[in-house]
Amino acid sequence: MIRRMADKLGHHLPHRADDLNSPTSSSDFLSQSSYGHHKRVYGSEMEAVEEEPRFMPRPQPLAPVRPRGVYRLDDFLIQRTLGTGSFGRVHLVRSKHNMRFYAIKVLNKERVVKMKQVEHTNNEQRMLECVQHAFIINLWGYFQDSANLYMVMDFVPGGELFTLLRRSNRFPDPVAKFYAAEVGLALNYLHGLGIIYRDLKPENVLLNADGHIKVADFGFAKAVDTTTWTLCGTPDYLAPEVIGQQRYNKSVDWYALGILIYEMLFGLPPYHMTETNHLILYDRIQAGPSKIAFPPAAFSEAAKDLIMKLMEGDPSKRYGNMRHGANDVFAHPWFREVDWEKLEKREITAPYLPRIAGEGDASAFDRYPEEDATSGYGVIGPDLSGHLFPDFNYTAEQ
């Protein structure tokens, strides 16, 4: 995901907006992305049982949740590369002011414009500055120079859920349930803000030092009042209405949760193909899950039932998208033993604790060549595209 995040972008920080753990800006002590892309091919951009109402998203105004600081590249010491992608890199950095570790996603503006990702890039910044949740990565600051865009985010040291899943082959039922429940809470929070995430997959779920998740990479996230229609996301995780280029709503995220649960329990997505052929893959997705195999060794009847309800081809009948919203998902028998209040407060011990040697330990991430990796950062020169990213402050006179 690191490589994919740099195409589109964790150390555990407190979740209060008034914490003093943000990277102090160069101008004042101001209280105040996933990392990237790899392993799979991605596209371009493209509402059950009545239960307690606590899971029904309450519409809230979309507004920044942290004071906006002014940051410069020289506020940080670059330690190493965490990932690379089509648009740039993600670096592990250390603040010169509070000595904490962060991840900085660096995007080359020329490449972003050339590949028509301006809207996605601006969406990522605007969505992340408006969210504050235990299971979602924090954006602490953002700025630009004549060549690059910079986004300062949490450093999440445990790496990607994808890596843990591939190392484990597949997860036991309780482990998959733990991660699915935390992802579900994150999605429900986003939907309550009117945000569709649109890129759920194990590569975009990071593991914090305490083993709890951080959903990252908001390059495809979008604030939507009702529906949208843009084709975007990961092929294996696309809902049939997205493939059919129909208007869709937040239910595509619940569909993707069904795919994620299947992949965690089985080791591969339900429509996985050894050879990439998107036309055949899309035909299978649109045909529906009726012919998907559910080996008893991997899937309990409750897990199978929830997956089928989340992968329902008719969005009006899909769990998470009916009258009671996420209540249908969280009240499903597969989640029966989950204490949602304790989980949301991170009071339940995670099933896997990353092996972290100390602060700044990035051993969970691959190594990348570092020669000349930062040579184009902070350069002053002509800029023909800076106006396309109006919310990114300039850090040097042009």
Q: 214 or 47: whose pLDDT is higher? A: 214
Question: Is residue 54 domain-resident?
Answer: no
Residues 69 and 191 in one domain: no
For the chain, percent of residues with pLDDT exceeding 90: 78
Question: Is residue 55 domain-resident?
Answer: no
Contact 205, 110 (CB under 8 A): no
Residues 147 and 173 in one domain: no
Overall domain count for the chain: 2
> Residue 225: its pLDDT value, please?
87
The arithmetic mean of pLDDT across residues 328-343, rounded, is 98
pLDDT bucket at 122, cuts 50 / 70 / 90: very high
CB environment 108-134: b (16+ within 10 A), e (fewer): bbeebeeeebeebbbbbbbbbbbbebb
pLDDT in tens, 383-396: 999 999 999 998 75
> Residue 180: its pLDDT value, please?
98
Q: 103 or 397: whose pLDDT is higher? A: 103
**What range defines the domain where residue 181 resides?**
161-344
pLDDT bucket at 155, cuts 50 / 70 / 90: very high
CA 358 – CA 11 distance, rounded (Å): 10
pLDDT in tens, 223-255: 998 999 999 999 999 999 999 999 999 999 999
Residues 222 and 194 in one domain: yes
> Residue 52: its pLDDT value, please?
36
pLDDT in tens, 16-58: 223 334 564 333 222 223 464 444 543 333 322 223 344 545 5
pLDDT at 63 over 80: yes
Q: Of all helices (H) and strands (E), which one includes residue 344?
A: helix 340-344
> Residue 285: its pLDDT value, please?
97
Which one of the listed residues 75, 145, 154, 199 is annotated catalytic? 199
Residues 273 and 305 in one domain: yes
pLDDT at 118 over 60: yes
Question: Is residue 51 domain-resident?
Answer: no
pLDDT in tens, 285-306: 999 998 899 999 999 999 999 9
pLDDT at 188 over 50: yes
Residues 200 and 85 in one domain: no
CA 180 – CA 27 distance, rounded (Å): 41
> Residue 380: its pLDDT value, please?
86
Question: Is residue 263 domain-resident?
Answer: yes
Say which residue the tokens 């690059």 belong to: 148
Handedness of CA 159, 165, 166, 172 (dihedral sign): positive
Beta-bridge partner residues of 207: 213
Q: Report the first-to-last Cα separation within the chain, whole angstroms.
A: 34
Residue 199 is among the residues annotated as catalytic for this protein: yes
Single out the residue of 232, 291, 283, 239 nearest to residue 44, CA to CA: 232
Residues 149 and 186 in one domain: no
Residues 234 and 254 in one domain: yes
Residues 285 and 365 in one domain: no
Domain closes at, from 319, 344, 369: 344
pLDDT bucket at 358, cuts 50 / 70 / 90: very high
For the chain, percent of residues with pLDDT exceeding 70: 84
Average pLDDT, the chain: 86
Residues 275 and 129 in one domain: no
> Residue 9: its pLDDT value, please?
31
Give the number of other CB atoms < 10 A from CB of residue 249: 17
Residues 16 and 152 in one domain: yes
pLDDT bucket at 204, cuts 50 / 70 / 90: very high
Contacts of residue 57, Cβ cutoff 8 Å, sequence gap at least 6: 188, 189, 191, 192, 193, 325, 326
Q: Judge whether 114 is annotated as a binding position.
A: yes
Residues 228 and 305 in one domain: yes
The arithmetic mean of pLDDT across residues 121-146, rounded, is 95
Question: Is residue 337 domain-resident?
Answer: yes
Strands (E), the chain: 76-84, 88-95, 101-108, 139-144, 148-154, 195-196, 205-207, 213-215, 222-223, 393-394
Question: Is residue 244 domain-resident?
Answer: yes
